[in-house]
Every structure is written in structure tokens, then in C-alpha cells.
Amino acid sequence: MPLQGKMKPEDKEDGKNRSAALKELAYEIRDAFDAVSPFIEKHTAIVCPKCRQVCCRDKHGRPDKDDLLFLRALGAEMPAGVPERGESDPCRFLTDTGCSLQRWRRPFRCTFFFCDPLLKSLEDDNAKLYRAFVQYFQHLVSVRRRLLGSQAVTDVDLARPYL
């Protein structure tokens, strides 16, 4: 029989504090997504329209448990999109003008993936801008790591289904 001791007031308080800490990290991540996005968008606007092998397949647009954890810490849910898609079909969030989701709502892999032409385009930009971008990006990765490694993740309900 599982142990189900009564929750003490201090446990409840601890839980609240952990949830607040988690939320704070999640907001920091969202800000970091917003900080890196314009530079990435500048370059996807250059390289993606010429691309013959668009990487936005539906399987890439599906959030994994870490993406869900971040969204729920933020109090946000994934938008539903069109569920009846094969894994290799165009992503449900892809439109004629690119991704319909704000960057922070996309799975992390969508921001973490740089194909060779995109990477080259980024690197060929102004060196100062590129360095600043790399710093913001490292910050994003590091805060996200903190969120995922936080003890507070146990407070997040991961059982809720996507869609």
C-alpha cells in the first residue's frame, strides 16, 4: 500500500515556492527565445525560401516531454493544429509564410536545428551580431537545462495528453 502521509502546511508552502521558481525559469526561457528569434528569422528569411528539402516535417513539430514541461511551467498549452498528419507530412504548423507558432511555443528542436546553409548565413553576418546571438543562445540552453534539472519538475503534471 502506498504511503500517503498528510501534507503539512510547510510542504504546501515548499510546493508553491518550487512552482514559482519553475515559472520564473520558464519566463526566462521565453525571454531568451524572444532574444534569439530575430537573428534566426533574419537568416531563415534568406535561406528557407530557396530550400528544396524543407525540414518542417510533422514529427518535428510535435513537442517532447521537455517541451511540455516548459510550456506547462509557463501555464501555456500547445495549440492543437491539425492532428491527422503522418510523421513525414509537412508540419501542422507550417504555413506559406513559415511557422505559425511564436518561437517559444515551438518544440525546442525547431530552434536548435541549423542546417548547413542556415548556419553559414548566420556566421557570415556581422561578427558582433553573431557573437551576441551565440551568447543569447548559450543563455537559452543553460536556463533550459536549469529548468529541466530542477527538483520542481516533479510538481508538473506530465500525464496530461498533448492535443
Q: Please report how close the Cβ of residue 127 comes to ligand SF4 at its closest, in angstroms.
A: 22
User: Binders of ligand SF4: how many residues, by CB under 6 A?
Assistant: 21
DSSP assignment letter at 98: E
- Identify the DSSP state of 6: P
Nearer to ligand SF4, 72 or 103 (CB): 103
Least distance in angstroms from the C-beta of 111 to ligand SF4: 8
- In angstroms, the CA 155 to CA 134 distance is 32
Name the grid cell of 46: 534568406
Q: Output DSSP code: residue 124.
A: T
Closest CA to 22 of 157, 128, 133: 157
Which residue, chain included where needed, has cell 556581422?
126
In this chain, which of 26, 118, 143, 152 binds ligand SF4, going by CB under 6 A? 118
Residue 98 CB, nearest approach to ligand SF4 (Å): 7
Q: Contact letters (x/-) for ligand SF4, 18-47, by CB under 6 A?
A: --------------------------x--x
Q: Is 62 left (phi over 0), alpha (psi -120 to 50) or beta?
A: beta
Site for ligand SF4, residues 46 to 105, rule: CB under 6 A: 47-48, 51, 53-56, 60-61, 91, 93-94, 99, 101
Three-state SS at 100: coil
| Interacting residues with ligand SF4 (CB under 6 A) | 44, 47-48, 51, 53-56, 60-61, 91, 93-94, 99, 101, 106-107, 110, 115, 117-118
